[in-house]
Structure 1
C-alpha cells in the first residue's frame, strides 16, 4: 500500500509537518464555518452507512443495507436505521464539549482514505481531532479515531453510548466485561427487534486504547454510558478509538454474538492494522478513477460522485444501490431503474465486481418477477418498479408507477447484455443472464398490442417521464422493449438456443411515434406539456435509436426546456451532455454538464440532492448520470457488442485532458485531450 499521511493527521492535528502536492487537494472536501448551511457527507462501506454531522462527535444515523421493516403496520417496506453505536461525548473539567465552547472548527472529507475528519479547540484548553470511517474491510463496522492535546492541565471525561431508533421495540442494553486470552475488554451491547417485521438487530462497541494503556471504562446504569476519565498535563497528547459493529438477522443467524465477535476482532487487530486494511481496499478501488485536467471544481465533484457509488455497494454482496444509497431512508431504500440505467453503466466500466453484484441482485430475484408477471396476466418475468429484499413490488399503493412503469423490465435485460459485451463471459450468459433475458422477451411479447397495420403498441404505461400516467406508445418504454427483444435474440444465438420468430417480429414492429416535423413524440397524446425528466432523449443515448446527429439535436432542442426546472431530477441533463459532446458541440455539452449537478450541490461538501429544490442527498442516481457525462460523453467511451470503444467527442474549452483509468477487465486507460 502506498504510504501517505492522511488528511486526518495533517489538517486535524498538525502533529506532522508535510508539504502536500496539489493532487492531494483534489481528494479533499473542506468545511470551516460551523454556522453556515450544512448537509452531511455519508461514510459507507456497502454494508452500513454512517452519517457524521457538524457538532462535536455527532453521528446522526446508521443505515443498514437492504435490511427492511415496514413504514407502518400495513405499510410498504422501508430500509431500517441501525442501532447507532457511534455516539461519543467529551467533558473538559466537568463541562460538556459542544458547539458553544469550540473554536477553530474544521472538517475534511478525504476521499482517498474514505474518512470524515474534524478538528477544533475546546474551551481554550484542548485541541481535539477525530476521524470517522465505515471500515471497507469490515462491512458491518465503523471506527472513530480520536487525538487530544492538552493546552493546560485538564481533566478529561470521554463517554460512549448507543441510540436505538424509534422503529424498534423490545430494546435491551448491557455493559459487558470479558477477557479473551490476555486482553481485558469492556463492551456496550444493544439488541432490539424492528416494530413490524420482527427484524433482529444488534450492536456492540468498545474503546480501543494504545497497547500498554490500562484504562478501565465504567458504566452508568442510568445514562447507559460507558466512560473513562483522564488527567492530562499541559502538552500531553493521547489517542484512542471507538469501534462499533451493527449486525442484523438478514445477514447473520446470530446477530447478537456476531456484533460482539466483530468488536473483539477489531480490538485485537488494533487501529493501525484496521486502517491499513481499510486504506488498502480503497487503494484498489481507486485503481479505477477519472482524472480531469483544467477544472479542479469538476474534478472534485466527479470524484465525489464516484466515491459515493463505490461506498454504496461491494463485490460479492449480491446487492444493488438504491437512489439514496446508504445516506438515508430516502425512497425507502428500494431498488429502481436508477440502478440499471444510471448507476450500473459507470460501475460496469470501472468496477466489474460491483457491477456483477448489481446484476446478481436481479438474477437472484427472477422467480419473484415471474410471479408478478403471472399475477398481472402476462408471461415471462415482470420486474417490480420498486424492489426490496424479496424482489416483490414495494411501491406505495398510491403511486401508479408500481403497476404501470414497466420499462424497468427492459432496462434490466439491457444491463445484462452490456455486462456480457464487456466481459465476454459466455458461461455467465448461458447460465445466469439468458434465462432472465428470455423471460423478459416473453413478457414483452405478451405485453404488446397488435395494431391493424401489423405494428405493435405498448399501451397504458408510465414512462421515464412520470408526469404522464397511463399513456400509449411511450417513446422510452417502446425503445427499451425493442432493445431487450433484439438483445434476447442475439443472446439466444450465442447460447445455441432457439430464437422464437415472435421475438423478432415484435421487436421490429413496436412503434416509435414522431411529430410531423420529425421530432420524436413522447407518447401518443403528448403535445408539449412539462415533463419530469428525459424520456425521448434516452433514445439518442443510451439506446441509440436516434442515430444521426441532426435528429438527436432536434429532439434535444425540443425537450430540454420542457423538463421541470424545479422538480426535475439531476441526471436528465447528463444524457444531453453525452450527445452534445459526441456531436462536437463543446459549449452546449459543458452547459448540460453543469446543469446535471451544479444546481443540486449542497454545502459545505457538495453532496448531491435529487433536484435543485430538494434536500435529500446523497442522490446516487445523479452521481451515475454525472459520471456518464464524463466517461461516455467527454471521453467518448461506449460499450459495443465487441467491448469498449472510444468514439469521437470533445472537451469543454477550458479542460485540457480527461483520463479514465482502470476500465474493464483489463484495466485499460483511455484519454481524451484538447
Structure 2
C-alpha cells in the first residue's frame, strides 16, 4: 500500500471514529500475586494502583531525592502513602477476600482510575482516584457507597509513613469557620539522611452543609500510621458520596512543607469536588488536543494512547523536572535521569507538546555547572553530563557500574535534544539564553575528548556505547556519530545567533571516524566481532541521527544487526528498527517489529510494559517513547529538521485505514496518513 498524505491540516472538529473503549484500559479477574498497577500522575506526584481495594502501592514525589536503598547513591523519594483508605461496613473491615465483581478501569482521557466492587448483599462501592493535573501536589479520591440493605459504614482516611522516613510526627486539627469545618490529617517526617523534610495532609470533602457533616474521630496508631474516620447509617437504596483531598510536598519544593501541605489541602477542600473535577478534566482535555488515532484498529489506538498517557502523566510543562526510565511509577533505576530521556522519551513529547519538552531541557540547563565540574574532574573541557543524574546533576551511577565514568554519549544526547527543540520551535530567545550555553559547552567537551591521530582519525577511545555489553571500547559507532552531529549543531547554533563559531568544531566533526567492516557494514566499535548486543547502537546512525542515509547501507546494517539483538533486550531498540524498515518500504516487517517492540513486554492485568519481555519492572517509559517514535516517525513519517517538523512518504500496516496525528509542533498541526 502506498499512502496518501495530507499535511499541515488544521482539523477543528475532528470526530473520534473509535469507540469510547479506546480511551479505557480495564482489569478484572485480578490476581494479587500477578498484579502490576497503573500510575496516576501529574508530572509531580505519582500514585501507583494496588490490587487491594481502597489501597495504593506507592506514592512518589518528583524532584525529591535522598540516599537510601541500593548503590550508595540517591533515590527518588517515596513519600507518605496518604491516599489509602479503610472501610468498615457493619463493623467488618473490607479486604480482598470480602468483595466480589472487583474491577479497575483507567480512563485515560480524564486520567482517573475508576474502581468498582460489591460487598456481598450489603453494598456496592465505586471510587475515582486522580492526581490532579491543575494542582501539582494534590490528589482527589471520590467515594460512592450504594447501600443494598440498611447498613452502617465507617470510612477512614489514612496516612502511613514508609519505613525509610524518620522522626515521623502525626497531627490532627479542625479549623471551624462560620461556613465550613476543615478537618486536617497531617504527617511530617524526614528523609533517610535528614536532607529533606516531607509532609502530607488530607481532608474530607462532605456534601452535607456546615453543621450537618459527620463527626470525625482521629486515631493515632503504631507503625507510623494514623487516620480520621466517621460513621454514617445508610438505608437500603441510599447512595452516599464523599471525597478526600490529599497533598504532599517536601523541602525540595517548599521551605516549610508542613504548612504548605496543609495550605494546599485547605485550598483544594474549599474548591470542592465538582470544581476540582472540572478543572482536572479541562487540563487533560487540553493535553489530549495532541493525540494519535488509528482508524480501523481500536486496539492499536488504545495501545498508543496508553503510551501517550504515561509520558503525559510523567512530564509537566513550566517545571524543571525530567523523566526517569520508569517515570513516576516507582523507584526503578532510583528515579535517575539517563539518555532514556533525551533520545527515547523526549522526541514524541517534543513533537506533541513542546512546552513539556522544554521542562526536560530546563532540568539539564539548571545542572550545567555540575556538568562543567564533571568535565573538569575527568580532564576535559566544556560540560560532561552524568550518565545517571538526580537532584544536583552530579554523577549518581553506582560505583560498581562502569557506565558512569565511560558512557559519554549522554553528553551528545543532551546537546542533540537542545538543538531539536530549536528546530521545532524556532525560539531564538530561548536559543540565546538556554540552547547556546549548553551547545557550546557540549561542543567544547567533544573537541577536547577526541584524540587527534591524523586526518580521519580523531578517535574517541575508552567508552561504553549504547550497547552497554561492550565496555571500554574505542570508536563506538553511536558515540562517534552523536559527537559529529552535536559539533555541527553547535556551529549552526552560533550562526543562527550571529556568533562566530569555533572553526575547530566542524574540523573535529569531519575527522571523527565511523568504522565499517570490509563489506561496508557499520562496525559497532573497533573490536566488535559480531557478538550479541543489548540494544540499538550502530542502527541509530540511520535514525535518529541521519548520518547513514543510503537505503542500501541502512538495509545492510539492519540485516546484520537484527539477528544479533538480544531477545530479552530493552524494548525501545526494536522500535527504532521498525522506523527504519518502514522508511525502506518494508511495511510488513516494520509492522511485525513494531508489535514486538512492546507487546511481549506487557504484564497483567492492565498491560503496562516492562523493560524486557518477561520482565517484572513496569512502567518502562523509555519503551513507550520508542514505541511512539515508531508510530510518529515510522508509520507517520514525521521528521524534525531545519524547517521544523516535516513528513516523509511512508506506508501503513494492514488493517490501519488511517493514521491521524493531531496537535503536532508549536502550531498544533494535524498530519494524516491514509491507507489504500
TM range, normalised to the smaller chain? over 0.9
2:155 counterpart of 1:145: no
Higher deviation after alignment, 48-57 or 20-29: 20-29
State the 1:181 CA deviation: 5.1
**Range with greater deviation from structure 2 (470-479 or 205-214):** 205-214
For residues 365-384 of structure 1, the aligned pairs below 5 Å read 365-384=367-386
Corresponding residue of 1:463: 465
What is the 5 A alignment of 1:13-24?
Answer: 22-24=18-20
Shift of 1:100: 1.1
Aligned counterpart, 1:219: 218
Q: Encode CA deviations 1:426-471: one digit per residue, 9 max, x unaligned.
A: 1111221111101111100100011245521100000000000000
Q: How does 1:236-635 map to 2 (within 5 A)?
A: 236-566=238-568, 568-635=569-636
**Aligned partners of 2:525, 2:400: CA distance in 1, in Å?**
23
Q: 3-state SS of the aligned residue for 1:67?
A: strand
- Equivalent-residue separation in structure 2 for 1:345 and 1:233 (angstroms): 55
Q: Please report how far the alpha carbon of residue 21 of structure 1 lies from its aligned counterpart in structure 2 after TM superposition.
A: 8.6
Distance (Å, rounded) in 2 between the aligned partners of 1:404 and 1:22:
48
Structure 1: stretches of 5+ with no match in the other structure = 1-19
TM-score, normalization: structure 2? 0.95
* Aligned residues of 2:31 and 2:51 also touching (Cα < 8 A): no
Q: Quick one: distance in 2 between partners of 1:612 and 1:148?
A: 40
Q: CA deviation at 1:180?
A: 4.0
The aligned counterpart of 1:201 is 198
Give the Å deviation of 1:557. 1.1
Q: Deviations over 1:610-640 (max 9, x none)?
A: 0013211111101100110000000100011
Query: Residues of 2 paired with 1:21 and 1:177: CA distance?
Result: 50
Residue matched to 1:131: 128
Taking a change above 3 Å as real, the CA distance of residues 181 and 350 of structure 1, as seen in their structure-2 partners, is farther
Question: How has the CA–CA distance of structure 1 residues 188 and 597 changed in structure 2, closer, same or farther, with 3 Å as cutoff?
Answer: same
Q: Which stretch shifts more, 265-274 or 293-302?
A: 293-302
Confirm or deny: 8 A CA contact 2:633 2:639 kept in the other structure: yes
1:28 aligns with 2:24: yes
Number of residue-to-residue matches in the alignment: 654
CA displacement at 1:589 relative to structure 2 = 0.4
Counterpart in the other structure of 2:86: 89
Q: Distance in 2 between matches of 1:601 and 1:63?
A: 22
Distance 1:106 1:73 in 2: 35
Higher relative contact order (CA 8 A, sep 6+): 2
**Within 2, Cα distance between the matches of 1:379 and 1:22?**
54
Partner of 1:651: 652
Q: Secondary structure at the match of 1:275?
A: helix
CA distance in 1 between counterparts of 2:220 and 2:369 reads 49
With over 3 angstroms needed to count, the CA separation of the structure-2 counterparts of 1:73 and 1:336, relative to structure 1, is closer
For 1:180 and 1:451, the matched residues in 2 are separated by 78
Q: Secondary structure at the match of 1:85?
A: coil
Q: Which residue of 2 aligns with 1:6?
A: none
Cα 1:452–1:22 change in 2 (3 A) is closer
* 1:159 equivalent in alignment to 2:160: no
Once the two structures are TM-superposed, the CA of residue 182 in structure 1 deviates from its matched residue by 2.2
Give the C-alpha shift of residue 350 in structure 1: 0.4
Compare 362-371 and 214-223 and name the one that shifted more.
214-223
Counterpart CA distance in 2 for 1:44 and 1:35 is 24
Is the CA contact 1:457–1:473 (under 8 Å) kept in the aligned structure 2? Answer: yes
Deviation at 1:133, TM superposition (A): 0.5
Distance in 1 separating the partners of 2:190 and 2:171: 16
Separation (CA, whole Å) in 1 of partners of 2:330 and 2:456: 48
Query: Distance in 2 between the 1:22 and 1:587 partners?
Result: 24
Q: Residue 192 of structure 1: which of 184, 189, 192 is its match? A: 189
Matches within 5 A, 1:230-241: 230-241=232-243
**CA gap 1:550/1:564 in 2 versus in 1, 3 angstroms:** same
Q: Distance in 1 between matches of 2:481 and 2:109?
A: 40
With 428-437 and 206-215 compared, the bigger mean Cα shift is at: 206-215
Rounded to whole Å, the distance in 1 between the matches of 2:259 and 2:282 is 28
Residue 328 of structure 1, CA deviation: 0.5
- Corresponding residue for 1:109? 106
> In 2, are the aligned partners of 1:73 and 1:196 still within 8 Å (CA)?
no
Q: CA deviation at 1:606?
A: 1.3
Question: Counterpart of 2:207?
Answer: 210
- 1:503 and 1:192 map into 2 onto residues whose CA distance is 51
> How far apart in 2 are the matches of 1:530 and 1:472?
18
Seen in structure 2, the aligned counterparts of structure 1 residues 180 and 553 have a Cα distance that, compared at 3 Å, is farther
2:207 and 2:364 mapped to 1: Cα distance?
45
The answer to whether the Cα contact below 8 Å between 1:66 and 1:333 also exists between their aligned partners in 2 is no
Counterpart-to-counterpart distance in 1, 2:369 and 2:618:
33
* Separation of aligned partners in 2, 1:461 and 1:497: 32
1:72 and 1:196 in contact (8 A); partners too: no
